[in-house]
Structure 1
């Protein structure tokens, strides 16, 4: 490799006699003052056996010298002078003809010429241009005989520079067929970084010297063929693919997180509109869903960790924090490989802020170190550390311990961070169970009948995961209204509400998107051979009622009258009508469904629970007057707080309207015990937590 030591050796060799009898200092040959500069020396015997007098400025690629006669200069002429007797240090009448190493003899003499002096003849100029053309390509190539200089910092200020611009001109340009050069990278990015204790190429750099070696690029690798250097005359070199990029599942999850934050939407709604409709594989969609729900459910804890790993919380824009939160979730709660999580996190950040890769790398490496001390306290004695360990707000962790006890609260929080089990319900109105089960089995869903609280749930099956539901055959059943996704406890509640005797009329309060409506009518059809003929729904939201009508039509269930209005004043909605079944699917805090509704955990406030309990009391009082004598008033929630469950029922029974009702106890045949209410806790691996009270109106 050419270096500065060579330059020094060349200067010393100028005092030695050359092969043509000239000395390196002065020459009496033709052409001007007879001075022979550094470029006019004879052949060097100590540089690879190169014959001839090769001027340093006049060298092109090695192949251009294949026809030299091996004598002391060009075309048998004494070395050091070009045609026309012009010294070799001057190029085409342009100033700065000396290259980087041509700084003149020792002693500080200057050999710059004025512009216009010593111009070559026209013929020599043409030859010189042809001779110089390969040099541009020579500088761009990394496989030439000389190669790029490793250190350009030792240039003397007085040396001419061929009219070249600042160093930025050496950067690779998109319009030139250059490969990546290590010294040409942007000065604002590190060439190497430490990741997990190892020095690695920075993820945002395209250093392809070893990356992709042996891969198939256009039918052949980048290895030399038969010991020869790769061909460079085939046009622009094919750009090697960048091996560092975020996976499609993570990018899709990050896009969903952006929409959640910007639109203040619910996770399941965004997942249905983005991830479920993407073209990713079933496994990638399932992983993206896991990431979105996990980040959303533990967002507060993740934000605290990220803030502690940044110099200032304002250092990152919201979009960058979304990407950091996603990677922090993988590191802390999914126990992913730190190296992989950091690498993917950096690439995710660069998709939204290309210049923030360094910040992301620093923050995520701190997160990896912080994980060793997470949850930053003793969970056995520190309630804040206990809440942080499970990704819960402190106030909610305290509330759960008060409601469920220490062990019950622990099981609840552990189960809330697990992926929710997948349960489906066969729509008996349109399909037989054998038909649906066979398709689920063919899609590798491994459908299994479900029992809840000691009782089998008709038409309810648990499948292995959400992946089989993305099978084309299964999706076709959804599109035809043959199959419905619903938690097993929710299906058990519907079965208990419908009862063992067919009701002639049914009023559903808080019908929402028709999930319970479909379950009720399917259960009635399976149990009685027909649907409930007089089925009335009430919901305060018009858009939900429209969706209810669409889904009811798809699933083939009967809704005789969908009503939009406030159910706390049923007299204004249904007049004096009474029903055999009045089912209040009560609005509540939803704590029993945290796995499926990840937004609840950090949106919920302590006062929300009290507000829900107050609303439920008004709904019970309003519905009491519209239950026929001997009829059933069913009150159901999907939460675990006493205020919204047992306490709400007890307070209703203590009122004048409630005094007309009596509790129908629930008997668990598996345990052989009778309890006043149907109540299922949230446990690891089990269905969601639900509460149901059945009250019969006295005749």
Structure 2
């Protein structure tokens, strides 16, 4: 039996190693490489899921894996990158997946042998020691007693100690524990579906604004026993792999976050009936009601992809809590969206406006022209481009970026709603972007990012019409980028004209969606401080 274990590397592990080696060579994101990997697509579904889990997990826990490995390497700095990638995969299986020792070690040795034959003996010795020390490593017995508890929590989540310390200080112990519990699990997937004309169709409901509907048919040949992205998926036969929900009066918001900051738009929707009233909590479990129109939870993503809806741009993948942010800025009138990127929130806002029959004008500002082109092209294909203008420019200098808009009136153009979707650490989305924890630096979250976020907020404030809303948003769970930035803004001269309508923070948890923050600020009418 032992010889069979080492006879050859499993296909999933071989593909996983190829992706990690390529990511290191090109300094590329592993998800992008996985999505474009022909070798991954050639695997059966179960092997493909395992390969993805190995790649994403080894990347997310990279620093912890190196700590475990380096403790047993005499010259850690001399290990070739491709050999280290192979060792990380095996160490991830041993430490975080609880793989049988003989399987993980033998497969790890063969992975290393495939990259450097002479290093196979070293790999065997090191991986056996990693297996022996697993429990001690996760318990951080090598760390001073005063720091051991935090180090152990960080290692079990695969996070840097300094980052977990910031997360706990920002969210509190309970929410931080939930984030850690979800860190190495797959994030649930949701989509935003654009409305589609359905006149004459029997499923067209009378209560759908403008006679719009959207349904996704699951190809019959795709039905049967399936394995989800990381394991068995719930049965969704006959429903295109979707757990669908619709918005209704009194529905719950998509929140999975901090209880002491309950989200309610009631505070600022009085007098603004165009703003949906939502309150309560949403855990992100498939089948739970309370999602806005067009927002659907996908329980079997490969099956949904097979419907072709994404390729036809009938829907976009968007986290439920990210859609909640977009909805907070979806109102009648004019809107300036700062930091539009490739346009996911632009799409969500345009779709929501169409669902609700809102008349609005939307300007999507993004620094990079290529992303602007992608945004506009997708909107046009989806039939959502009416009333939307996409502009490339620097949001720290809106007078220059919006020169063409300002020129006709000879003064600054003001907007009823301004959304600042600020660049941030992304710590609320680490499950989806596994490079974040070990590429992020303390200086980023202490100085660089908050400084830029404050500048963007101050600049955006000059574009809010009297009585209008300024919505500040991040996908961070760190208070340094969220409440602290808003508080600093309110203390400035520009901030004196604004009052806080609401603040809302969500965080990842098992079965729940991502961590997003947004604060809704209302500008006072002219003459009122």
Question: TM-score scaled by structure 2?
Answer: 0.78
Aligned to 1:604: 440
1:152-301 to structure 2, matched below 5 A, reads: 200-201=2-3, 244-274=7-37, 278-301=41-64
Q: Shift of the alpha carbon at 1:448?
A: 4.2
Among 351, 355, 376, the alignment partner of 1:526 is 355
CA separation in 1, counterparts of 2:326 and 2:188? Answer: 19
1:622 counterpart (459, 470, 483): 459
* C-alpha spacing 1:277/1:338, structure 2 compared with 1 (3 Å): closer
Shift of residue 344 of structure 1? 2.0
**Higher RCO by CA contacts (8 Å cutoff, separation 6 or greater):** 2
Matched, 1:646 2:442: no
Match of 1:572 among 377, 380, 400: 400
Q: Which whole-Å CA distance do the structure 1 matches of 2:415 and 2:59 have between them?
A: 41
2: CA distance, partners of 1:623 / 1:376: 47
Q: 2:51 and 2:414 mapped to 1: Cα distance?
A: 47
Secondary structure at the aligned position of 1:374 is classed as helix
Aligned residues: 443
**Mapped partners of 1:628, 1:200: distance in 2:** 73
Deviation string, structure 1 residues 506-548 (Cα, Å, up to 9, x no partner): 2111011111111110111111166x4x322211223322322
403, 413, 421: which one aligns with 2:180: 413
1:430, 1:296 → 2: CA distance? 43
Deviation at residue 404 of structure 1 after TM alignment = 2.4
Residues 196 and 214, structure 2, Cα contact 8 Å, conserved in 1: no
> Does structure 2 conserve the Cα–Cα contact (< 8 Å) formed by 1:637 and 1:692?
yes
In the superposition, the TM-score normalised over structure 1's length comes to: 0.60
Map Cα deviations across residues 291-340 of structure 1 (whole Å, 9 max, x no partner). Answer: 22111110000011111222332453110110110111111111122222
Unaligned runs of 5+ in 1: 1-198, 205-243, 665-675
Structure 2 unmatched ranges of 5 or more: 199-211, 220-235, 247-251, 256-279, 281-289, 407-411
Q: 1:477 and 2:313 equivalent?
A: no
User: 1:482-561 to 2 correspondence within 5 Å?
Assistant: 482-499=314-331, 502-503=332-333, 505-528=334-357, 532=360, 534-558=361-385, 560-561=388-389
- Which of residues 408, 413, 420 is equivalent to 1:584? 420
Kept after mapping to 2: 8 A contact 1:283/1:467: no
Q: Is the 8 A contact 2:196 2:213 kept in 1?
A: no
- Structure 1 residue 437 displacement after superposition: 6.9
- Asked whether the 8 Å contact 1:506–1:582 carries over to 2, the reply is yes
Assess if the C-alpha contact under 8 Å between 2:194 and 2:214 holds in 1: no
User: Does 2:193 correspond to 1:426?
Assistant: yes
Matched, 1:401 2:164: no
Rounded Cα–Cα distance in structure 2 between residues aligned with 1:485 and 1:644: 25
Q: Deviations over 1:41-77 (max 9, x none)?
A: xxxxxxxxxxxxxxxxxxxxxxxxxxxxxxxxxxxxx
| 2:259 alignment partner in structure 1 | none
Aligned partner (choices 325, 332, 337) of residue 95 of structure 2: 332
Q: Which runs of 4+ in 1 moved over 4 A?
A: 378-381, 429-434, 437-441
> 1:594 maps to which residue?
430
* Match of residue 312 from structure 1: 75
Deviation for aligned residue 1:248: 2.2
Cα distance in 2 for partners of 1:560, 1:404 equals: 37
Match of 2:514 in 1: 688
Cα 1:283–1:485 change in 2 (3 A) is farther
Bigger share in helix: 2
Instruction: Give the Cα–Cα distance (whole angstroms) in 1 for the partners of residues 216 and 97 of structure 2.
Output: 34
**Residue 579 to residue 441, structure 1, CA distance change in 2 (3 Å):** farther
The 3 A distance-change label for structure 1 pair 277 and 480 is farther
Deviations, residues 159-185 of structure 1 (Å, cap 9, x unaligned): xxxxxxxxxxxxxxxxxxxxxxxxxxx
- Partners of 1:285 and 1:546 in 2: CA distance: 32
Alpha carbons of 1:554 and 1:337: their partners in 2 closer, same or farther (altered >3 Å)? Answer: farther
**Structure 1 residues 628, 387: CA separation in 2 closer, same or farther (over 3 Å shift)?**
same
Distance 1:564 1:336 in 2: 49
Instruction: After superposition, give the CA deviation of every residue in 1:440-494 in whole Å (9 maximum; x if it has no partner).
Output: 7437625243851325332222222444345x3x2x1111111221111011111
**What residue is the counterpart of 2:216 in the other structure?**
436
- Residues 349 and 550 (structure 1), Cα distance of their counterparts in 2 relative to 1, 3 Å cut: farther
Distance across 2 between alignment mates of 1:638 and 1:444: 29
Alignment partners' CA distance in 1, 2:400 and 2:196 = 33
Q: CA RMSD in A?
A: 2.5
Match for residue 245 of structure 2 among 437, 441, 449: 449
- Cα 1:441–1:557 shift into 2, 3 Å: farther
Change (3 A) 1:253 1:394: same
Taking the TM superposition and a 5 Å limit, the aligned residue runs for 1:14-33 are none
Match of 2:509, SS state, is coil
Question: Residue 391 of structure 2: which of 563, 576, 587 is its match?
Answer: 563
1:434 to partner: Cα distance? 5.1
Q: Deviations over 1:80-112 (max 9, x none)?
A: xxxxxxxxxxxxxxxxxxxxxxxxxxxxxxxxx
Once the two structures are TM-superposed, the CA of residue 596 in structure 1 deviates from its matched residue by 0.7
The secondary structure found in structure 2 opposite 1:478 is coil
- Distance in 2 of aligned mates of 1:556 and 1:249: 40
SS of the residue aligned with 1:692?
strand
Cα distance in 2 for partners of 1:663, 1:485 equals 30
Q: Give yes or no for contact 1:425–1:460 (8 Å, CA) kept in 2.
A: yes
Q: CA deviation at 1:698?
A: 2.0
Highest Rg: 1 or 2?
Answer: 1
